[in-house]
Structures are given as C-alpha cells and as structure tokens.
Structure 1
Amino acid sequence: MTTTAGGLLVNSEHQVLFGLRAAWKTAWPEHWDAIGGRVEPAESIEDALEREISEEIGVTVTRADPLAVVEHPGPDDGQIIRSHIFAVTAWIGEPQNICDEHTELRWFSIDELAGLENLAGDGYPAIARQAVSLYRTTMR
C-alpha cells in the first residue's frame, strides 16, 4: 500500500487551491488534484503533508486538520493508494507553482469544483465543502 497526504488550502474567499497535474504523471495526468504526495518511510503523515506543500507551492503550513481518508487503486499495478486529505486553513507565504508536478495552480469555489470534468476523484467537491466549513468555523 502507498500512503499519500494532500492539502486543500482554503482562502478568505472560501475557495480551495488545486493543482493541474502534469501530463507526464502516471496517476491522474492533466487532472485537478490536491497539493501533496507520497509519505516517505519513517515520516508521519502530517510531516509529509508539510514537506510536500512546501516543495510544490513554497508555503509553510501552520494549521492543517484531517478531513478524509480515501482509498483507490494505483495507476501501475493496482496497488491500493491510501490518501489522507487535510484542510489547510493557515500558512505562511504565497502559493506559487515551484515544481514540475503541476502545470497550473488555481483557486476554485465549491460550485466550480463540482463542474470540473477532469477532477482527480469524484469525492473532492464534498471534501472541499468540509474544508470550507472548517475554515469558516476556525477563522471566526
């Protein structure tokens, strides 16, 4: 089993940040996905989330709350991938696409997400709705 950690960054306009996966990616190429990646051996899920977000968009996570754990078959050998999804409601820095994992970053409203045909998982709109709700609760 492969374990991953992904963050849904939520901004003050209640939008969620997604990255458009590069065409060369074996899993979900050219699909919008949470920012994140694999958990390394001996690394906690939370540490992996912080590392991946820092490596991919250059921000430091200061608040992340677990939202969901989703399992799905991997792209190569059918091995199960367990993805831990977090609401990231506070960070330091401005998100920028600083690696080759994504070709674009974009903020989406929940309604915009629900209308995307190339979303890397049909559960994302519901999970993003949870992230926005958590943001509203924690940022009062």
Structure 2
Amino acid sequence: MRDIAQGVLADAEGRVLLGFRAEHKLSYPHFWDLFGGHVEEGEPIEQALVREFFEELGIVVTRFRRLGLSIEPKPEVNGPKTYHTFVIEAWKGKPENVSGEHTVIEWFTPAKALALETLTDPAREAIETWRALPSGR
C-alpha cells in the first residue's frame, strides 16, 4: 500500500486551496484535489509533505499538524493508498502552480469545495474533518 502525504492549506478567510489534477495523472485525473503526493521509500511522511508542497506550489511549509488518516475508498480504480492528512498552519511564499501536476489552482470556501462533483474522495473526507474542528479549521 502506498503512503500519501496531503495537506489542507487554508487562507486567512478560511478558503481552501485546491488543484485540478492534470489529464496524465493515473488516479483521479480531471478532479479537484488537495496538494501532496507519494511518500518515497525511507522518507518520513512529514518530510514528504514539505517536499510535495514545495514541488507543487513553490512554498516552504513551516508549521503543520496531523489531521487524520484515511484509506483509498476505491483501490480497484486508484490503487491501494493510505492518506496521511495534515493541516498546514504556516508557510513562506505565495502558492503558485509550479508543476505539471495540476492544470489550475483555486481557492474555495469549504462549502463550495464540498459541492464540487469532481472533488476527490480523500480531499472530501479531509475537508469535512477539518471543517468539523472546533476552531473551524
């Protein structure tokens, strides 16, 4: 089973940043998703999270906390995966679409994100969990 590090990145207004996955992606092409990716062999999950955010958004994550763990609900389609989800609390830089992973990035209110028909299952679960926190994020 592959480990995936992903993060909920929210701005001061409580909007969540999502990326629209490119056509060439093997799992969830043409779906909105959180940022993150595969944990490399021997790599700590937290290090993978920081690496993926730099590779995909050009930002340096400086503070985060664990939100939860989930299993890919459709392993027959997307492969068996375990998602390690974090809340990104602080970062340096301005998020920009700097890789070929996504065709566009966009800020969404949690309600609008959850209303997207093309939101990945893992992102939906993470946003719902994050939104239910006492602080609202």
Q: TM-score scaled to structure 1, two decimals?
A: 0.88
In structure 2, C-alpha distance between the alignment counterparts of 1:5 and 1:47, rounded to whole Å: 9
Structure 1: gaps of 5 or more residues: 136-140
Cα 1:7–1:114 change in 2 (3 A) is: same
Q: CA deviation at 1:134?
A: 6.2
Q: Which runs of 5+ in 2 are unaligned?
A: none
Percent of residue pairs bearing the same amino acid type: 38
- Matches of 1:44 and 1:66 in 2, distance apart? 13
Structure 1 equivalent of residue 25 of structure 2: 25
Tell me which moved more, 121-130 or 9-18: 121-130
Please tell me the residue identity of whatever aligns with 1:126: E
Query: Are the counterparts in 2 of residues 7 and 86 from structure 1 also a CA contact under 8 Å?
Result: yes
Distance change in 2, residues 1:54/1:74 (3 Å):
farther
TM-score between the two structures when normalised by the length of structure 2: 0.89
CA-based RMSD of the aligned residues comes to 1.8
Change in Cα spacing, 1:88 to 1:126, as seen in structure 2 (3 Å) is same
Match of 1:75 in 2: 77
Measured after TM superposition, the shift of residue 75 of structure 1 is 3.5
What is the number of equivalent residue pairs in this alignment? 133
Note closer, same or farther for the CA distance 1:8–1:38 as it changes in structure 2 (3 Å cut): same
